[in-house]
C-alpha cells in the first residue's frame, strides 16, 4: 500500500454467529487503516481485555489487521452484540457481531443389542433391548 492516509474501514465475515451454552466461540473482524489503527473489542459497553473468559488475537499485515475474539465456556450472559472498533488519527469506525444461543447438538439415536442367556431347562433366549442416548458435549454418560 502507498503511504496515502486511509481512515479505518471494517469488514466482518460473519455478522450473526450462533453457539450452544458451555462451548467456546470465536468471532472475527478485519480492519484497514493508515496510519495504523488501534483496534479493540467491546461488549455491553466495556472494552474486553484478555482474561480466562476472553482470548483476543490480532494479526497485523501492513495496513490490515485480522482480529479474533474467543469467548470461552458460554453462558446466557454472553449472548448479545459484540463490537470491534478501529481508530486512527483520521477517524473511527466499528462493526457489530450478534452472538446468539443455539441448542446443543444431539447424536442420532444409537441401537445397542444386549444378549442374555437364561431360561428354564437349559433353554436359551436372546433378549434384545434398544437403548437410545442423547449425548451432550463435555458431559459423560453415567456408567452402570
Kindly state whether residue 116 falls inside one of the protein's structural domains: no
Count helices and strands (H / E) in the chain.
Answer: 0, 9
Kindly state whether residue 118 falls inside one of the protein's structural domains: no
Q: What is the CATH number of the domain that holds 50?
A: 2.60.40.10
Kindly state whether residue 121 falls inside one of the protein's structural domains: no
Residue 120 backbone phi and psi in degrees, to 5: -85, 150
Kindly state whether residue 16 falls inside one of the protein's structural domains: yes
Residue 75 burial class via C-beta count within 10 angstroms: exposed 0-12, middle 13-18, buried 19 and up: exposed
Kindly state whether residue 41 falls inside one of the protein's structural domains: yes
Kindly state whether residue 144 falls inside one of the protein's structural domains: no
pLDDT (tens digit per residue) in 8-42: 999 999 999 999 999 999 999 999 999 999 999 99
pTM of the model: 0.71
Structural domain span for residue 39: 6-101
Q: Domain count for the chain, please give it.
A: 1
pLDDT at 133 over 70: no
For residue 12, give every residue at least 6 positions away whose Cβ sits within 8 Å of its Cβ, in sequence order, or none.
28, 29, 30, 84, 95, 96, 97
How much is the average pLDDT of 116-140?
40
pLDDT (tens digit per residue) in 101-113: 999 877 666 655 5
Residue 109 burial class via C-beta count within 10 angstroms: exposed 0-12, middle 13-18, buried 19 and up: exposed
Kindly state whether residue 134 falls inside one of the protein's structural domains: no
Amino acid at each position: 500500500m502507498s503511504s496515502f492516509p486511509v481512515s479505518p474501514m471494517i469488514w466482518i465475515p460473519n455478522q450473526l454467529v450462533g453457539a450452544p451454552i458451555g462451548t467456546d466461540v470465536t468471532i472475527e473482524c478485519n480492519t484497514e487503516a493508515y496510519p495504523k489503527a488501534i483496534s479493540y473489542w467491546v461488549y455491553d459497553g466495556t472494552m474486553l481485555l484478555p482474561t480466562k473468559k476472553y482470548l483476543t488475537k490480532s494479526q497485523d499485515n501492513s495496513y490490515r489487521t485480522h482480529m479474533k475474539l474467543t469467548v470461552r465456556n458460554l453462558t446466557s450472559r454472553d449472548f448479545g452484540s459484540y463490537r470491534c472498533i478501529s481508530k486512527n488519527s483520521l477517524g473511527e469506525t466499528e462493526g457489530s457481531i450478534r452472538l446468539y444461543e443455539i441448542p446443543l447438538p444431539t447424536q442420532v439415536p444409537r441401537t445397542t443389542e444386549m444378549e442374555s442367556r437364561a431360561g428354564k431347562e437349559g433353554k436359551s433366549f436372546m433378549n434384545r433391548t434398544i437403548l437410545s442416548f442423547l449425548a451432550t458435549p463435555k458431559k459423560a454418560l453415567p456408567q452402570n
